[in-house]
């Protein structure tokens, strides 16, 4: 039962203590201070991102009042993720991505698999057909509660997002009052004709997925909040179609890779607004994924920096803060590197991944969940 779950989550988040001690390398979680530091870095480096205050009554006191969440608007999304449907023929397209130097130690099992490398969207996927209902996991087998709860549950099931009801609720063009006004304006020779977009089929069950050269450019507003319970950032999406009309949940799910669409991505009330609803990737797995990525990047970075140090022939500088001009890539770290498994004594003072980079890495991870939304403007890294 989604509503009760949401209440439960809200209470749980309220009650859970604020993480005080930095743990980002041990288990991928960060403190609010580190979230702010990483956010500052992101905003500085990529000015498309800005800090937002949000609704003052919803402000979280463990974050600065003017740095409640991060926002970027109008992120383009050229294709539907459903048009990247995965088939056996694509197996060759997988490639292992390792963060940092390939000579880094670490078990191969931790390699990051990128599928669909360099794939063209398949034209067979031009019509993905009906989007399945979102499985209502709690709908049928809710153990507790008497008939009353059951009744509400059933009612909830009927109006659950993406279900048959939602299809009926999507904008129906017949509903728009027929009020085309012929005489309102004469034709104007100096008005550029907008490039004809794809026929606007709004029926959610039959949304045309752009294939080939016809593109439906959707845009997304992307927000990153700090989730106190999971102690990780959390990402939120509000989508618009090419006409600037808000997307419905089934339409948003077209832009989310099939592995996540109906499992970890849900429509939730946005925590910094009284009324706004947004699609969100549930953060329960963020920490463990981030830990893996950070470990790999970290050990890669350390290798690289060690090599650089050896090349320059300088002695290992103990107890010295790395000077900012000494290396091209600065990854100073202040904590003991974990997981690299060798030469701990030396590495303690060598640079590693800094927590500032957390959100940059986080966006790369999110880009794998929403492959066609260009959230990752950080590719220059």
Partner 1 sequence: MPIVQFAPFASLVQPSFWHELTSLKVDVLRLSDDAIPVIATYTTGRSVKDRETGQEIVLGCNVTVGAESFRKGHQRPSAGAVVAQGTVKNFNTIEEFKSADKSSLFNHEADIIWESILRNQDTSLLTRFLLISYADLKKYKYYYWFAFPAFAAKPAWEIDDRGWVSAEEAFSQDALNGIYTQLRQSQKHASFFLISDKNQVLGVDKFESETQATIAFIDPSAATNNPGWPLRNLLAYLRALYPQKTSSLRVICWRDNVSENSPSTGAWKSRFGVLSAGASVESTSRLTAVGWEKNMQGKLAPRVADLAPMMDPASRLADQAV
> Would you count residue 245 as binding partner 1 (CB under 8 A)?
yes
C-alpha 117/C-alpha 121 separation (Å) is 11
SS3 of 73, please?
strand
Take residue 54 and report the two structure tokens written for it. 């949000």
- Judge whether 232 and 198 are in contact, CB under 8 Å: no
- Does the footprint of partner 1 cover residue 242 (CB under 8 A)? yes
269 binds partner 1 (CB under 8 A): yes
On whether the CB atoms of residues 280 and 253 are closer than 8 A, the answer is no
Would you say 75 or 350 has its CB closer to partner 1?
A: 75
- Which residue in 16, 130, 243, 314 binds partner 1 (CB under 8 A)? 243
How many C-alpha atoms does 323 have within 13 Å on its Cβ side?
3
Q: Does 166 bind partner 1 (CB under 8 A)?
A: yes
Q: Residue 68 or residue 219: which is nearer to partner 1 going by CB?
A: 219
| Residues in 331-370 at the binding interface with partner 1, rule: CB under 8 A | none
CA 173 centroid distance within chain: 32
The residue among 137 and 317 lying less far from partner 1, judged by its C-beta, is 137
Looking only at residues 15 through 44 of this chain, which bind partner 1 when binding is defined by CB under 8 A? none
Shortest distance in whole angstroms from residue 74 CB to partner 1: 7
Is the Cα torsion angle 9, 359, 378, 276 positive or negative in sign?
Answer: positive
CA distances from 75 to 91, 136, 299, 308 (A): 29, 30, 32, 37
- Cβ-based nearer residue to partner 1, 78 or 96: 78
What's the token pair of residue 40?
């500052």
Contact characters 117-146, partner 1, x per CB under 8 A? ---xx-------------------------
- The first and second tokens of residue 344, run together, are 């701990």
Q: Measure the N-to-C terminal CA separation of the chain; round to a whole number of Å.
A: 42
Contact with partner 1 (CB under 8 A) among 181, 315, 318, 328:
181
Active site residue 77: no
Q: CA 50, 54, 58, 64: dihedral to nearest 10 degrees?
A: 40
Does residue number 153 form part of the binding site for partner 1 (CB under 8 A)? Answer: no
C-alpha span between 360 and 345 (Å, rounded)? 28
Phi, psi at 244, each rounded to 5°: 80, 15
Closest contact distance (angstroms) between CB of 285 and partner 1 is: 23
Of 88, 182, 312, 315, which lies in the binding site for partner 1, with binding defined by CB under 8 A? 182
SS3 268: strand
CB of 43 to partner 1, least distance (A): 10
Give the strands of the sheet with 218-227, arranged side by side. 50-52, 69-77, 218-227, 232-240, 277-281, 265-269
Under the binding rule (CB under 8 A), the answer on residue 378 touching partner 1 is no
Does residue number 195 form part of the binding site for partner 1 (CB under 8 A)?
Answer: yes
Residues in region 71-90 near partner 1 by CB under 8 A: 73-74, 76, 78-79
Site for partner 1 in 298-337 (CB under 8 A): none
Residue 177 Cα to chain centre, angstroms? 38
Segment near partner 1 (CB under 8 A); pick from 90-98, 236-244, 289-297, 342-350: 236-244
Among 145, 150, 151, 155, the residue binding partner 1 under the rule CB under 8 A is 155
Among 113, 173, 214, 284, the active-site one is: 284
Q: Which two tokens stand for residue 97?
A: 């991505």
Contacting residues toward partner 1, per CB under 8 A: 2-3, 6, 47-48, 50, 73-74, 76, 78-79, 120-121, 155-156, 159-161, 166, 169-171, 175-182, 184-186, 188-197, 200, 204, 213, 215, 217, 219, 221, 238, 240, 242-246, 248-250, 267-269, 273-278, 374
Residue numbers annotated as active site: 284
């Amino acid at each position: 039962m989604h509503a009760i779950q949401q209440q439960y989550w809200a209470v749980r988040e309220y009650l859970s203590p604020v993480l005080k001690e930095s743990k980002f390398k041990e288990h991928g979680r960060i403190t609010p201070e580190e979230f702010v530091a990483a956010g500052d870095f992101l905003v500085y480096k990529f000015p498309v991102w800005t800090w937002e205050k949000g609704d003052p009554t919803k402000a979280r006191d463990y974050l600065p009042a003017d740095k409640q969440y991060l926002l970027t608007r109008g992120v383009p999304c050229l294709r539907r993720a459903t048009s990247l449907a995965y088939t056996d023929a694509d197996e060759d397209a997988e490639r292992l991505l390792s963060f940092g130097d390939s000579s880094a130690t670490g078990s191969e099992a931790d390699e990051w698999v990128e599928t669909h490398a360099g794939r063209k969207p398949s034209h067979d996927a031009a019509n993905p057909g009906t989007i399945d209902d979102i499985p209502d996991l709690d709908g049928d087998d809710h153990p507790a509660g008497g008939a009353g709860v059951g009744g509400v549950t059933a009612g909830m099931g009927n109006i659950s997002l993406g279900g048959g009801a939602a299809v009926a609720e999507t904008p129906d063009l017949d509903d728009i009052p027929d009020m085309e006004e012929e005489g309102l304006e004469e034709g104007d020779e100096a008005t550029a004709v907008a490039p004809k977009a794809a026929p606007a089929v709004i029926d959610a069950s039959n949304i045309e997925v752009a294939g080939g050269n016809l593109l439906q450019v959707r845009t997304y507003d992307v927000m990153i909040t700090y989730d106190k319970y999971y102690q990780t950032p959390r990402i939120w999406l509000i989508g618009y179609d090419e006409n600037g009309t808000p997307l419905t949940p089934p339409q948003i799910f077209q832009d989310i890779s099939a592995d996540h669409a109906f499992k970890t991505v849900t429509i939730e009330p946005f925590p910094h607004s009284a009324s706004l609803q947004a699609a969100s990737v549930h953060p329960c797995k963020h920490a463990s994924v981030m830990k893996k990525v950070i470990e790999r990047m970290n050990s890669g970075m350390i290798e690289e920096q060690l090599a650089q140090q050896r090349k320059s022939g300088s002695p290992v500088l103990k107890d010295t803060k790395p000077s900012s001009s000494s290396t091209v890539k600065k990854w100073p770290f202040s904590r003991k590197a974990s997981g690299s498994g060798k030469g701990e004594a030396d590495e303690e003072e060598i640079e590693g991944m800094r927590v500032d980079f957390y959100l940059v890495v986080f966006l790369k991870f999110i880009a794998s969940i929403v492959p066609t939304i260009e959230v990752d403007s950080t590719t220059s890294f």
